[in-house]
Amino acid sequence: MVDWYFKRALLVDYFISAVVSGIAYCFYYRYNFAIPENEVLLSLTGDLSTISLTFAGFILTLLTILITFKTTAHIPTDENQHLIPLFDIFFYTPLYFTTITLLKNAIKSLIVIAMIGYVLKLVLHSTTIRYLIFFDIVSICVITLTLWRNLTILTLIMALQRNRNSND
């Protein structure tokens, strides 16, 4: 299940976000639930956009570290594989490139969310600002799912290290 999700991560994230936002939209019209004031919505959108950019920066840092470590990694061979650190072996597996792709896509997704949020803050008319709540719901979902996915990646890397250490 996790592999299936990782292959379609952005599509699944945005689909789930759209469904949650759509459900909130239906509740808004069906039950007429209250939406925060325009100032609160504008502030929330700005905060979510800032959080999104900050999180993208953290992921970019992780990506830079992984790429930098790969440049100093030893190439494993049959003779020296048991002597090479696990991280060096990880850098020469398909998992490394999958991890890099997932991290790059997470950065792109978070930047898109941030830019859309900032643009909406700038261009929405005061009569349509109330609809920012639905974009904010999408933003919260995408940020949360991206965080979960990146924590899952790190957990899998740590499990790989743990398995390697227990085999030594």
pLDDT of amino acid 92: 78
d(CA 117, CA 122): 9
Number of H helices, E strands in the chain: 6, 0
User: Which of 16, 32, 56, 39 has its CA nearest to residue 138?
Assistant: 16
- Return the pLDDT at 96: 86
| String of DSSP letters for 58-124 | HHHHHHHHHHHHHHTPPPP-TTTTTTS-HHHHHTTSHHHHHHHHHHHHHHHHHHHHHHHHHHHHHH-
User: Token digits for 13?
Assistant: 């994230």
113 CB-side CA count, 13 A:
35
Residue with tokens 């007429």: 32
Domain ranges, ordered by start, for the chain: 2-167
Quote the pTM value.
0.85
Short-list 58, 78, 62, CA closest to 70: 62
d(CA 107, CA 128): 29
Residue 151 in tokens:
């924590």
Neighbouring C-alpha atoms within 13 Å toward the C-beta of 40: 6
Q: Do 106 and 146 touch, CB atoms closer than 8 A?
A: yes
> Given this model, what pLDDT does residue 68 score?
84
pLDDT in tens, the chain (168 residues): 777 888 899 999 999 999 999 999 999 999 988 889 999 999 999 999 999 999 999 999 989 988 887 777 667 676 766 666 666 777 777 888 888 999 999 999 999 999 999 999 999 998 899 899 999 999 999 999 999 999 988 888 787 777 655 655
Are the CB atoms for 35 and 129 separated by under 8 Å?
A: no
Amino acid 143: pLDDT:
97
